[in-house]
Amino acid sequence: MIVTVKQGSNPQQVKRLTDWIKSLGLDVHLSEGEKSTVIGLVGDTSKVDIDLIRSLDIVEAVTRIQEPYKNANRKFHPEDSIVDVSGVKFGGKHFQMIAGPCSVESEKQVIGIAEAVKASGATMLRGGAFKPRTSPYAFQGLGLKGLEILKKAREATGLPIVTELMSERFIDAFAEVDMVQIGARNMQNFDLLKAVGRLGRPVLLKRGLANTIEEWLMSAEYIMSEGNMNVVLCERGIRTFEPYTRNTLDLSAIPILKEKTHLPVIVDPSHASGLSRLVKPMSLASVGAGADGLIIEVHNDPPHALCDGAQSLRPEQFDDVVRAIDVMLPLVNKERG
């Protein structure tokens, strides 16, 4: 960490700052120029509160040299991590398709969709049992009953399941889930992150609505610092001023993450836009950007044919997306499955 001190600062104040830095167990490398004094902090700066230093009256600017994340940092783990979810591998040359309904509604619905998406090439099943809803009056999901239905679909199809955990209260029930999803709204629910870190199941960590890439990696770090290294990141759109799409899918985040971290990264093109007709082009775009997989909403329920055009694809549309991706994967040195 490099601290630039304001011109004309009181030398006593500078000394108080360097003394305080030393009291944190760090060495200080002082370089006094004509126009500015630069303080280099040597040692493990991950505990240093950068915002506190930045807000000091005598400080002009603070520059991090070491990233604040360690376990997630590619510098210390140059090879891609392969995260194994009950046999389904994320990272490296692997490309995985996760598919399933938005909400778990019934055994018949989920198994029907699971069979269809498996036939098209999906290797994991998604489905919401606990649903984060903006309104307390909206349907909040089937909860534990939904989990049971997902497990039955796993039994019926062999597909491992991923579903969202919203509260520490249900953590025990999630020990039987293959992969635990942390939703965007809980990306900085630090107690929940620690809890899934301790649980030890692979985690699908969605990016928060308005979180930077660095904050996202720090949330991965929370999970990993509890000993759970099996984290897959999922880009799902960030909040911007553009109203046509619900969120703006940030695909540049993928090549950046590939530099910064060894963790796999997948994309959720369904939630980002909220428009099913954008799922195919944004899926292909995600492959081009270097993603390790996709998680896509698929429905098959005829009485809800109404929802055609909404966020979810029909099974035949999903199949069409998988076929297009298959043509593209060799170009990015990846293989499906």
Place of tokens 């950007």: 289
Other CB atoms within 10 Å distance of the CB of residue 83: 23
Of 10, 11, 16, 93, which one interacts with its own copies (CB under 8 A)?
16
C-beta of 27 vs 155, nearer to its own copies: 27
C-beta of 178 vs 221, nearer to its own copies: 221
C-beta of 266 vs 287, nearer to its own copies: 287
- Within 247-306, the residues that bind its own copies by CB under 8 A are 248-256, 259, 272-278, 281-290, 305-306
Of 77, 151, 194, 336, which one interacts with its own copies (CB under 8 A)?
194
Of 191, 227, 316, 335, which one interacts with its own copies (CB under 8 A)?
191
- Within 36-95, the residues that bind its own copies by CB under 8 A are 36, 38, 40, 42, 46-47, 49, 51-52, 54-58, 60-61, 63-66, 68
C-beta of 106 vs 167, nearer to its own copies: 167
Overall size of the chain counted in residues:
337
- Residue 151: which residues within 8 A CB-CB, separation 6 or more? 161, 176
Q: How far is the CB of 194 from its own copies (least distance, A)?
A: 8
Which long-range contacts (C-beta less than 8 Å, at least 24 apart) are formed by 35-38? 35/7, 36/4, 36/5, 36/7, 36/60, 37/4, 37/5, 37/9, 38/2, 38/3, 38/4, 38/5
Q: Please tell me whether residue 212 binds its own copies under the rule CB under 8 A.
A: yes
- Within 111-170, the residues that bind its own copies by CB under 8 A are 132-140, 166-169
| Cα within 13 Å of Cα(114), Cβ side | 27
- Within 27-46, the residues that bind its own copies by CB under 8 A are 29, 31, 33-36, 38, 40, 42, 46
C-beta of 96 vs 273, nearer to its own copies: 273
Question: Among residues 72, 91, 84, 85, which one has the least CA distance to residue 291?
Answer: 91
Q: How far is the CB of 50 from its own copies (least distance, A)?
A: 9
The pair of structure tokens assigned to 19 is 């003394």
- Within 223-252, the residues that bind its own copies by CB under 8 A are 225, 238-246, 248-252
Span of 76-84, 92-100, 314-322, 326-334 interacting with its own copies by CB under 8 A? 326-334
Task: Say how far apart CA 65 and CA 301 lie, in whole Å.
Answer: 53
Q: Are 157 and 126 in contact (CB under 8 A)?
A: no
Q: Are 298 and 314 in contact (CB under 8 A)?
A: yes
C-beta of 79 vs 242, nearer to its own copies: 242
Give the end-to-end CA distance of the chain in Å, rounded to a whole number.
Answer: 42
C-beta of 12 vs 87, nearer to its own copies: 12
For the window 159-188, what string marks contact with its own copies as x by the rule CB under 8 A? -------xxxx---------------xx-x
Q: How far is the CB of 65 from its own copies (least distance, A)?
A: 5
- Residue 234: which residues within 8 A CB-CB, separation 6 or more? 181, 204, 205, 206, 207, 265, 266, 267, 268, 295
Q: How far is the CB of 148 from its own copies (least distance, A)?
A: 20
Number of shown-chain residues binding its own copies (CB under 8 A): 111
Pairing of the two strands 37-42 and 2-5: antiparallel
C-beta of 156 vs 171, nearer to its own copies: 171
